[in-house]
Chains A and B, each alone.
Chain A
């Protein structure tokens, strides 16, 4: 059993705060992804959990035990580094067995566990090679194998896939997911790639400037972003966001264009309120070429000029001009389009989001 619980966890370097008193409870066997832009404090948080970074205030519990001042070796954790951090002077076998050797495990036990880990990750044929003789993907697998061998309470991953090429990254992502299903440990996974976070995690923690913006399942953070930041960060292509002022049940944009106020927000705003209107590319589509996730209950029709198209085969990303900016929209079952052409668009307003301009918080009740 390994729950992880952070309370008021803080990291400061001198007067500069990096992590500002975050609280987070992670359940046993849960896969948690910490995601956010560079410098948001996600890696620092992970390193504090690992014991590689001292904490300035607050506390960390692993499996109900406070580990604030324990060295990494006493926390029963494993970590996969972004750089892999394989020992270059040891063979793959020695790399995998290193932690057991340090712990003074019996030779047979060591061999058995190394064999188990290498079987899980398909490293059997590479055991006598050195890290320099391996490809990027193989090194990554050895790094994961080294983590598994220890049979830890908690796995920590620090952007483990960011050094791999796109194809290998997708492949390794699947392997990590399979691995978690097999070993059933608690996983804390740091990434700046929201696709990785969405595909792998049970819950996602979105961080920004040392604060937690939102914690939720992939579906929650995608469908009900708590802040404007989360709305813009999660989803690819990102949500279209525009500032507007409420005027008598309508949103007035800087260009003077108007859209009706989404029904679900009518009770929460009043004339004169400054808001940020957000709509995902999936919820804006050339009429007849989309699937409304909201069941087309509140669809608004508008005609807009096309600026650019990006055909992807099964769909086309159509950029249309709205409020003097580009709006990304998704066209399913595409037909050829020409830039400059005006096209009838359907806006599924039941899926729209409104955030207060000042606080960035959602206006959803």
Chain B
């Protein structure tokens, strides 16, 4: 065998190895999600079976049907939880992104006293686990009378997300060359117009990804929400999962079905927005 054909063979073998490796990695990532979907469609006996039953014997949508069939018939107030989740997640995301844009822009473009300390301070707040704050927050919210309200949870989520959105958006504004905003100002724009006409569209994909991250954080958050909400009027979907636990039993099938219901909107949103997350939009702006 000559050198060329052995190199070719080696290349092909390597590509097969890569594919197998990739498949295993994807399997590890996707298996829990797949398991939830399967578990939502099979009876509890099968879910709890030892040794595990890998291939479902019978498939039924009973869990989904009963979920929507109202209180007393095995149902839970999914619609209300869904509405709460949507209101809280969307509002806090919009606020966090708005603050993140203002803050990120300031960090990316302006020089001011104590800039790096403020930035470091913001990042340090991320090191505090949310659950550690839940008890003090609970007392505070009770005093303020905002426990078990949309407003209370929105406030907590905005505080949780702002450092992250500032950090992410700062990075995206840094990638937009400063020259472009200056060129726009020379072309007759005010600072404000230069931002909206030139810098914002270019940092758009970055801001969109910050928004997705913020939204998913709120949508999936359980620890704080379970402490700060208790009634149907404020409980979010993750907290709603607890409705499937009773004193002595846990309805695993129902829980999995609700988890699937929770995942679908998040998945859809990510799918829609990911098309816009195309990098390299600034290529061609400046030499390089």
A and B interact: yes
Q: Which residue of chain B is the closest to A98 with respect to CB atoms?
A: B187
B residues in contact with A130, CB < 8 Å? 284
Interface flags for B191-210 (1: CB within 8 Å of A; 0: not) read 10100011001100000000
**Is residue A228 within 8 Å, beta carbon to beta carbon, of the partner chain?**
no
A residues in contact with B185, CB < 8 Å? 51-52, 71-73
Q: Is the CB of A84 within 8 A of B186?
A: no
**Is residue A81 within 8 Å, beta carbon to beta carbon, of the partner chain?**
yes
A residues in contact with B281, CB < 8 Å? 88-89
Contact of B187 among A89, A99, A132, A134 (CB under 8 A): A99
**Is residue A78 within 8 Å, beta carbon to beta carbon, of the partner chain?**
yes
Shortest Cβ distance from B197 into chain A, in angstroms?
Answer: 8
Q: Is the CB of B186 within 8 A of A73?
A: yes
A residues in contact with B71, CB < 8 Å? none
Shortest Cβ distance from A139 into chain B, in angstroms?
Answer: 7
**Is residue B177 within 8 Å, beta carbon to beta carbon, of the partner chain?**
yes
- How far, in angstroms, from A247 to B267 measured CA to CA in the complex? 90
**Is residue B183 within 8 Å, beta carbon to beta carbon, of the partner chain?**
yes
* A interface size (C-beta, 8 A): 32
Q: Is the CB of A83 within 8 A of B187?
A: no
**Is residue B188 within 8 Å, beta carbon to beta carbon, of the partner chain?**
yes
**Is residue B182 within 8 Å, beta carbon to beta carbon, of the partner chain?**
yes
* B interface size (C-beta, 8 A): 26
Docked complex: A290-322 residues within 8 A CB-CB of B: none
**Is residue A102 within 8 Å, beta carbon to beta carbon, of the partner chain?**
yes
Q: Which residue of chain B is the closest to A104 with respect to CB atoms?
A: B188
- Assuming the contacts A71-B185, A77-B186, A99-B187, asked whether A83 and B179 have C-beta atoms less than 8 A apart, the reply is yes
- How far, in angstroms, from A139 to B183 measured CA to CA in the complex? 14
Q: Is the CB of B186 within 8 A of A78?
A: yes
Shortest Cβ distance from A51 into chain B, in angstroms?
Answer: 8
- Assuming the contacts A131-B285, A134-B284, asked whether A72 and B193 have C-beta atoms less than 8 A apart, the reply is no
Shortest Cβ distance from B267 into chain A, in angstroms?
Answer: 29
**Is residue A229 within 8 Å, beta carbon to beta carbon, of the partner chain?**
no
- Assuming the contacts A52-B182, A81-B182, A89-B201, asked whether A133 and B284 have C-beta atoms less than 8 A apart, the reply is yes
**Is residue A330 within 8 Å, beta carbon to beta carbon, of the partner chain?**
no
Q: Which of B179, B185, B284 has the most chain A CB atoms inside 10 A of its CB? A: B284
Q: Is the CB of B186 within 8 A of A79?
A: yes
**Is residue A103 within 8 Å, beta carbon to beta carbon, of the partner chain?**
yes
Q: Is the CB of A85 within 8 A of B179?
A: yes
B residues in contact with A134, CB < 8 Å? 284
Q: Is the CB of A131 within 8 A of B284?
A: yes
18 CB-based A-B contacts, threshold 8 Å: A51-B185, A52-B182, A72-B182, A72-B185, A72-B186, A81-B179, A85-B182, A86-B285, A87-B183, A87-B184, A88-B202, A88-B282, A99-B187, A132-B283, A133-B284, A136-B287, A146-B183, A150-B188
Give 20 A-B pairs besides A83-B286, A88-B202, A98-B197 with Cβ atoms closer than 8 angstroms: A51-B185, A73-B185, A73-B190, A79-B183, A81-B183, A81-B286, A82-B287, A83-B177, A84-B285, A84-B286, A85-B179, A87-B180, A88-B282, A88-B284, A89-B202, A102-B187, A131-B284, A133-B284, A139-B284, A150-B188
Chain B interfacial positions (CB closer than 8 Å to A): 177, 179-180, 182-191, 193, 197-198, 201-202, 281-288
Q: Which 9 A-B pairs have the closest CB atoms?
A: A132-B284, A83-B286, A131-B284, A85-B179, A99-B187, A85-B183, A88-B285, A163-B287, A102-B188
